Structures are given as C-alpha cells and as structure tokens.
Amino acid sequence: MMAGHGLMWSNIYQPEKPKVKRRVEWKRLGALFAPYWPQQATVLLCIVIVSALGLVPGFVTAHIIDVAIPQRSLRLLAVDVGIILVSALLSAAIGVLQGYLNSVVGEGIMRDIRTSLVAHLHRMPLQFFTGTKTGEIMNRVSNDVDNVDNVVTGTLTSIITNVVLIATTLIAMFVWDWRLALLSIAVVPLMVLPLGPVGRRMYEIRKRTREKRDQIESITQETLSISGITLIKSFAREAYERARFYATGTRLMQLEIDLAMVGRWFIASVTAMVVVGPALVWLGGGWLAVSSTLKVGVIVAFVSFIQGRLYGPAAALAGIQVQVVSALAVFERIFDYLDMTPEEYDPPGATELPNVAGDIQFEDVHFSYGGERDVLHGVSFHVRPGDVAAFVGPSGAGKTTITALVPRFYDPQGGRVLVDGHDLRTLTLESLRRDIGIVTQETYLFHDTIANNLRYGNPSATDAEIEAAARAANIADFIDRLPDRYETVVGERGHKLSGGERQRLAIARVLLKDPRILILDEATSSLDYENEAAIQKALEIVMRGRTSLVIAHRLSTVLSADVIFVVDDGRIVESGRHATLLARGGLYSRLYRTQFAGLSA
C-alpha cells in the first residue's frame, strides 16, 4: 500500500464499508443453477427412478410373506429375491451417475461464485481494502463459499430426493390401502410445526458465528504473515497474541455450542415420532387384520415404508430446512460483497485515452478521504510531457495523495485532474492505467519466480526482453549469480531478496510495461547509499522520455528534477528548480538545510 499522508488519513476517516440490508432473493439463487439445467434435469430423473425402484422391496416383501411362504414355493421365493437384488443393483448404478452429476453442478457453481466474487473484489476501490481486514475478505472467498458447496451438493439434492421419496411413497400407500396410509401420516404435522422458530434461531446464531470466524481469520492472517510474525517476535508479544486468539476462539466456541443445542428438543420429538408412527400402524393394521381381510405382509410393508421412506425423509427435511435457513446467512454475506459498488471502469460516455503524451494538470483540486477535514486544499500545477516533477515537503503533507489521484485510485471532491487535457473521470480506467507505472517504497512481489514476477508488467514479454529490462534496472548481474537465475522463487512478498533487490525488480517490471507516466513514491528512502546509487542509475534509464512524478527525501533525485513542488498541509506552497527554490529562502530552503545539507557535504 502507498505510504504517507494518504494512508494515515484514510484509516482515520474511512467511511463504513457498504452493507446490503435485504434478504437473499430466491430468484437470484436460482440464477446460479441456470447454466447447469441439463445436469440438474438428469439428476431429477435419476432421483425419480431410484425412488420408484426403492418401492420394489416393500411390495416384494409383502408378496413373499403373503404368497410365496404360505404356498411354500421356492420358485416364487427365488424370483422375488432376484427382483429385490436387481432393483438394488440398478439403484446403485444410477446413484453413481447421480453423484457424478451432483459434483459437476456443485463444483461448477462453486467455481462461478468464487470467480465472480474475486473478480468483483479486484474491481473494488482502494477505500474498501483500507477499511476491511484481509482476513475477513479471505474468509468470505474461501470458507463462506465452501459452506455454499455443502448446500449445493448436499442439502438441495437431499431436499429433492426426500420430497420425491415422500411423494412416491404416499402415492403407493394410498393406492394400496388408504386406511393404513392415513394412520401413517397422522404424526407428520407434529414433526413440521416447530420448524419456523427453530430455523429463525439457527439463522441468527449462524450469522454471528460467521462474523466471529471473520475475526479468527483476520487474526490468523495478520499474525502469521511474514511482517506480522516479525513484529510479534520483535516485541515479544507471543503470550499476548495467544491470549487474544484464545479469547476470540472461546467466543466462537460458545456460539458453536449454542448452534449445536438449538432445537435439540425438536430433534428428540422427531425421533420419538419415528417410534410412535409405526406403533400406530401396527395397532390399526393388527385390528384390521383380525377383523377383516387385511394381510400381514401389507402391514409389514407399510411399516418398512414409513420408517425408511416417510418418517426418515420427513425428519431429514426438518433438519434440512434448518440448514437452508442458516445457510442463507452465508449467501447474504457473499451477496453483500457482490452488491458493493466497484470502481467505475467505464463511466457513461467514457473515451479511451489514445497515444498518451504524459501532460498532467491539477486544477484547484480538493480531496478528502471521507472525513470532514480536507487532505488537499485547492492544489493546482502543471507537468509537461517528459518532465521530471519532484514533490517534497514534511511527512503527512499530502504528497502521496497527489500522486494517488493520477491513476485515479481516488476521485477529488472538487476541481479536476487532467491527463493530456482529458478529465480523468471521462476516461476508461484501463486505458488510463495502462500507461502509468508505479514504484513505491514497499515493493510487492508474488511468491513466484523472478521471470513470472517481471512478466506481470508485460505477460507477452520474451526472455530476451526480460533480460534486457533486468540489465536496465541494474539487477541482471545479481540474477545471473543465482543457481536458478530467472526461475528463482523469491518467497512470500519477495522476502528472500533484500530491499534494494526487490526495488530493482520492481523497476524492471515497470520497464517491461513501458508506461508514458511514471510515479516513484519514495522508492529509495529506506535503502542504504550503495543500493540507492544502483537504483538511482536504474531510475535514470526508466525516467528517460517519460513524465515522472517523484516523491523523494534524497537529494539526488530532487537536484535533477525539471520542476520541484513543495507541499505543505495539502497545498503547493512553492515551485521551481532546485537553485531557484534554494535562493528563495522559503520552506524548501529550510528542508534542504535540515535534511539535504548533510548529504551534499
């Protein structure tokens, strides 16, 4: 992230990130499944066939008890058993196909949601990331989407399966004997009535649980990153961090216990009904068998139906209903992010920025990071194409904020920022940023090879172009001494390399991008003089023929600038070349005496 005044005030005045306050729309959830309707239709057909085949053992069992055994017919017995075995094998084979298609649909929806979420986050403005913990973002992208997978691949399929099982079973039972069918469903309402209050309670606890998991993820991400663990060890804060993690984990544990205990009495009552129901069927069926012509095999079949195909699915649906209601909290969290307003990459009527020359102009620019206090107060200046403009001033004066407005990381509340005479708000973001290269004090490298990190500036760059950029950035000799040369993995955030080496790789990466506008944000301020000299030599090559905006504390860059802007309290208070400003005896002269005189001696 960029250093300086901008970051400090963005943390203080950052407005609360947007929240969507409406419930999830079922139509929106249905849209996730639309691309997979052929697979879903096949799954539904498989469920119906398997459900129909599941009725076969009950009917055949009744036939065995009432016909084959009384007639002492081994042939009928063998045929009946064969029918049961064939139906079971067919069900198993169709179940394998159903499982495969379930995985295709579930994993496909997971991929689509995760891709949409990550792509949307990539287009969010910087304010969102300065106001949101990385751990919370990662939790929504990983854990929340994983929980959606459980709903898609397990819960929804289970709902359809159980509904079809209940429907086919009820049809068969009423066609076979309506009296026993009525006895069988007598206890079902008692299994359904409590669903509402139980579901609402689980929904609320689930939302709080997800929020607490965000905190766990944030603490983990912050403390186990290379920067975080270095800070912990340097301040000997291991015990404090353990206590903080334990306290948050304890609160999560209490919520999980509450979640597990919600509706236990309800589940217990459902379990009781699974025993009461068959008892009623045995009582009623036995009375009918004694007083009329009802056969024992029919009663046995009915009991097997209601235990395996009626009460079991009904109890499962009761639990699934609770799971679906609580899962909606996860969908809401994902859609909260998807509904946040991203950067306006293509404003209405936006135009492409063609053949960038690099003319930069600020016209009475006022800017605030969302608080009452302005960071910039009427800033106006003009940098001609190809010029090197240096920004100097006290820490927190607004230098970084000025340069952050050029690639339109933020929009000013007043005034205009123009490139080649175009107001940035009338340009497409991609065409603007395509010709802007940025090198900051804190260089970010991916945990990848040197070559792949350099190609981030130009994915189509050849090996020869990469080596040429490395030579221009004064880093080629170092790379050639490495055992794997350009295939060397640089480690997390590039921490296997020194600060100077990371900076020179960043410069080579910008060279491959070949931008017309270059922003250097204190790119050498934290380096020793030997590294600074190497990087300064590379920067001279990078800045050649490009419009360069340089924030620097070191004298060397400032001395060679075409124009120096002195920034103080969000205003340009002086401008001119080094000698002119020095002779003027103003703020620049005082900065020079206190910061630069020792370096030039």
Tens digits of per-residue pLDDT, 400-433?
889 989 988 888 888 999 999 899 888 888 888 8
Query: 255 pLDDT exceeds 80?
Result: yes
Give residue 14's pLDDT: 40
Task: Enumerate residues 6+ apart whose C-beta is below 8 A from 128.
Answer: 17, 121, 340
Give residue 266's pLDDT: 65
**Helix %, strand %, coil % of the chain (to 5):** 65, 10, 25
Token duo for residue 286: 């036995």
CA 494 vs. chain centroid, Å, equals 23
CA distances from 377 to 360, 396, 520, 571 (A): 18, 14, 23, 6
Tens digits of per-residue pLDDT, 55-87?
888 778 877 887 777 778 788 888 888 988 998
Tens digits of per-residue pLDDT, 389-404?
989 888 888 888 899 8
Report the distance separating Cα 361 and Cα 379, nearest Å: 10
Do residues 273 and 154 touch, judged by C-beta distance below 8 A?
no
414-419 and 388-392 beta bridge pairing: unpaired
Q: Where are the beta strands (DSSP E) in 302-375?
A: 360-367
Give residue 269's pLDDT: 66
Query: 146 pLDDT exceeds 50?
Result: yes
376-383 and 571-576 beta bridge pairing: unpaired
pLDDT band at 7 (very low <50, low <70, confident <90, very high): very low
382: which strand partners? 361
Tell me the domains of the chain and their CATH numbers: 18-211+255-338 (1.20.1560.10)
